[in-house]
Amino acid sequence: MSENQTARSMAVDALTRVAGGAYSNLQLDKMIDRSTLNDADRRLLTNLVYGTIQHQLTLEYYLDSFVKPNQKLQPWVKMTLLVALYQMLYLDRIPNWAIFDEAIQLAKERGHEGIRRFVTGVLHAVDRQGVPDVAQISDPTQRLSVTYSMPVWLVKALQAQLGEAKTESILKTINQPAAQSVRVNTAVTTADQAIQALEAVGYQVDVSTVSGDGLRVDGQPANHSELFENGQLTIQDESAMLPVEALQVQPGDQVLDACAAPGGKTTQIAAALDPAAGGQVTALDLHAKKVKLIAQNAARLQVADRVNAMALDARKVDDEFADQTFDKILVDAPCSGIGLVRRKPEIRYDKTPEDSQHLQKIQLAILDAVSRKLKPQGLMVYSTCTILETENDAVVRQFLADHPDFEAVRVTTTRNVKGDRETATLSIYPDDFDTDGFFVSAFRRKA
């Protein structure tokens, strides 16, 4: 097999592109689709890419001990070493000689003799000396940052918000593999029927303890199953189903999904609607390409007859809709996505505190614009897939201060998640139920 077809060399290529701004999941999907790798090597490639990204700050800390200060490494050389270190330190089944052999061969084929010698020297030095002990880092915040590969600013933000113990519990969780969960499409089937069909083809299935229509499935990727293709289920995290549960959709409701792509929550809303009773969900997104994706998902899930997808900036709803048009409104707002770091591990390195502040302004602008379209006594749900207070509780407080015609109401869910909480809002952290992090709040428009 030539070097550009091996799982390890492809991982180096993928990571180099991610470092240049590509999305890891899209890059991996593209590579796997075009590759001739067998199933085992595809799994190895996925593990190497996600694992190296998840532990990148830790691996860089280790690598720095074996590289001269201020020594500039070419991106592919650095990634070759990080992938090798990840295998040495986190994967038990691969012997060091195999790791060294392929990394050194890659350096030889892609670089000059000096690069080959450098890579060889670093790897053998790590093998002889071992890596430095992160417990020796004196600053506790820096130690957590390196141990769990989370930028210092995020560690500090979570500590200020949640305390040290909860922060470390979250950090321990987010580098663990995410469970595979699906939503049963109740527009065409039942949970019992879906479970029976999944188990018949070899999946191990558990009913979600978080969401009413959620299942945890262990086995092959569920989006390769016949049930996915024929619209009986769709891929969705358990916590991501909660905003629509909080919306309390009725069959004849007129619903606005203000930030809808790719349509997971739109189709969840649609499953609760009855077009014969006049029920419809209007799904907005900025980009026409994403609107097409919403429509495609609605068609696959057999709910296209109650979905109206259109390209529109939610801040400009005045251009299309009269005030007091909708019974229910969902604002699943653009956010920093920090709750999704297990599935999109590079997010943690891409975001800054300034990003969160900027997003807060966008979130408030969307809420302000769409709130006028809600009928009196109508319900509006604001949700994000981040766990940062700046984009969550702070947004709720500011919206209520600016809109005295709205009141906060307690978020309710099918399984009464965190039913003993003191807050009206619902915050789900990755360590609570081994799901993505999510925030859900609800407002009612006064008469």
* Average pLDDT over every residue of 205-233: 96
Q: What percentage of the chain reaches a pLDDT higher than 90?
A: 91
pLDDT(230) > 60: yes
Q: Which residues belong to the annotated binding site? A: 259-265, 285, 313, 332
Q: Does domain 239-445 have CATH number 2.102.10.10?
A: no
The answer to whether 269 and 297 have CB atoms below 8 angstroms apart is no
pLDDT(4) > 70: no
The answer to whether 181 and 237 have CB atoms below 8 angstroms apart is yes
What pLDDT is recorded for position 2? Answer: 43
Q: Does domain 181-235 have CATH number 3.40.50.720?
A: no
Specify the CATH class of 3-132 in words: mainly alpha
| H helix runs in 273-351, sequence order | 288-300, 347-350
With cut-offs at 50, 70 and 90, classify the pLDDT of residue 5. Answer: confident
Predicted confidence (pLDDT) per residue in 150-198, tens digit: 999 999 999 999 999 999 999 999 988 889 999 999 999 999 999 999 9
pLDDT(337) > 90: yes
Q: With the CA atoms of 64, 66, 69 and 70 taken in that order, what torsion angle do they form, in degrees rounded to the nearest 10?
A: -70
pLDDT(139) > 60: yes
Q: Is 385 a catalytic residue?
A: yes
The DSSP bridge pattern shows strands 438-445 and 426-428 to be antiparallel
Whose tokens are 């965190």? That residue is 418
Domain boundaries, given as residue ranges, for the chain:
3-132, 140-174, 181-235, 239-445
* Average pLDDT over every residue of 420-441: 98
Q: Which residues belong to the annotated binding site for S-adenosyl-L-methionine? A: 259-265, 285, 313, 332
Q: Which of 106, 126, 340, 385 is flagged as catalytic? A: 385
What pLDDT is recorded for position 151? Answer: 98
Q: Can the peptide bond before residue 262 be classed as cis, meaning omega within 30 degrees of 0?
A: yes
Predicted confidence (pLDDT) per residue in 393-427, tens digit: 999 999 999 999 999 999 999 999 999 999 999 99
pLDDT(1) > 90: no
